[in-house]
Chain A
Amino acid sequence: MSVEISVNLRKKIDEIKKKFPRDKSPILPLLHAFQDEFGYISVEIEEEVAKIVGVSPVYVREVSTFYSMFNNKPVGKYHIQVCGNISCWLRGYDEIVEYIKKKLGIEIGETTPDGKFTLSRVECLGMCDQAPVMQINGDFYGNLTPEKIDEILDNLE
């Protein structure tokens, strides 16, 4: 199986190769670009990236699995990442994550049956001044309360 590369992604690939011409530097930017497009890094994508950079697929696998942001399986339309590190924990991580679990009916690491939400626990997001915090598809949400979580999640289509 090969990967369908859109015109937009092809353009991004060319830009990345031009911007980072040395060694294997394009790998991380390429993995980001593919994940933006497909939501996760499949075996086929690893093979494609390996071809572009000129390395073995297993090399790309080693890199992509080292970095926690690269998903090795599909995630929901909205990937909810709740910070469980010290500053967020001091400000109520336990209650917040319990509330989200109950609301969505899933555990950490699971996706709702409709494929809309995936819930993950992550380490410090660098937003400790707004603890407790979560990140959904790149956007940060801080000073979380159950009411605020309702408002945020209920407004995602």
Chain B
Amino acid sequence: MSVKILTKHFHIKDSHKIDVYISDGGYKQAERALKEMKPEEILEEVKKSNLRGRGGAGFPTGLKWSFVPKDTGKPVYLCVNSDESEPGTFKDRHIIEKDPHMLLEGIIITSYTIGAHESYIYIRGEYYPQAIRLQEAIDEAYAKGFLGENIFGTGYKLDVKIYRGAGAYICGEETALLESIEGKKGKPRLKPPFPAVVGLYNCPTVINNVETIANIPAIVEKGGEWFASLGPEKNGGTKLYAISGHVNKPGVYEHEMGYPLMKLINEDAGGVIDGLKLKAVIPGGSSVPVLRAEECDINLDYDSVAKAGSMLGSGAVIVMSEKTCMVRALQRLIHFYKDESCGQCTPCREGTGWMLKIINRIVSGNGRKEDVDTLYYIAKGILGHTVCPLGDAAAMPVMSFIDKFRDEFEYFAINKKSKVE
């Protein structure tokens, strides 16, 4: 049996309500943290836990918190990234819908640790029903005295506010998210300075993903060492794997870090649909390099997936069967990045547009053999040449799709039709 941290209440009726959460020991860890622990002690446990950012980058959470300078005289902010717009990713939505109080308890402990008295949850605009649910949970927490003034009678004060995005993938990038909360276009900032020093309203700011924060109560309860022991070295805890595409049972499955990819596909998700053969998998959201079926015998933790030449990213596993036309699949992805490029950096703004024109030309039957190399060349020109990772996110699928399925691209360009359809 796998250890369940984040999904342990998912099966309970009304698991989103505060009384249900409290009846299973909810908010006890926040109370203990505020009353009995110093912020440094909590930070130490989080560092020991090897918790890494669940938004996609996998940066060590404790280290991120430790970058917040002390005694600047400025307020410190916690921003919770609930923009969840990486194609294939839907795990944070499940936390918000089914256990919003676990997230809020994590926010209280995290804010206390970094010295924040104001926290913003930035939720993507499309998550409208989810924003309502989250606001209900926040209202419940205020009513119980878990948020607001003098929390648990300790004198500690914290306000939590929801800020709704409005349909911009780029706002999941942490500095674009800050710009958006400040009422601007979501254009990423140059780093340094990093948000820990100059963040929201020019004040020290920590930005963490929903899943990252939801792990904090369990780390406080059972200790950093326990959490670290759940996964392989430097990959602490469990992970929410969101699997979609050509599988029988798409969904969110929680397992210890390092869970085998093929087991996730064949056992949890019930295998590939219609008894078809597996062709390819994107293991961490649409932005990461694709893997061929024969490369999928790997474990899902940050380091193992990186060793296989891809990235765990957000843990969003997109499965493609033998019937998938990789050219058309890539067309979808390029369309997305072209749509979502913020326009700030020339390589990304122009490059995604050129790539879309070329792939549209191939798919419409007007391609030329050299188009495949041109696509690759443009992607290479974007990679590493932009302010934020969106440029890389657009380039990596293009380069990996062509590297691994070049024959399909050339076939389509020359024969004016798909090799698989």
Contact = CB atoms under 8 A, between A and B. Distances in A.
Interface of A: 19-20, 22-29, 31-32, 53, 62-63, 66-70, 84-87, 89-91, 122-131, 135, 138-140
Contacts of A68: 166-168, 339
Interface of B: 84-90, 92-93, 124-129, 161, 163-169, 180-186, 201, 242-246, 250-252, 282, 286, 316, 318, 320, 324, 328-329, 332-333, 335-336, 339-340, 342
Nearest to B186: A66
B128 A128 contact: no
A69 B125 CA distance: 7
B164 A131 contact: no
A130 to B, nearest CB: 8
Contacts of A84: 332, 335
A24 B183 contact: yes
Nearest to A24: B183
B329 A86 contact: yes
B353 to A, nearest CB: 16
A126 B320 contact: no
Contact of B329 (A31, A89, A123): A89
**Residue with the highest number of chain B CB atoms closer than 10 Å, among A26, A128, A131:** A128
Contact of B245 (A26, A91, A124, A130): A91
A87 B340 contact: no
**Residue with the highest number of chain B CB atoms closer than 10 Å, among A19, A29, A67, A123:** A123
**Residue with the highest number of chain A CB atoms closer than 10 Å, among B89, B90, B329:** B90
A87 B286 CA distance: 9
B174 to A, nearest CB: 17
B245 A140 contact: no
Contacts of B286: 85-86, 124
Contact of B336 (A22, A123, A127): A123
A129 B167 contact: no
B87 A123 contact: yes
B164 to A, nearest CB: 6
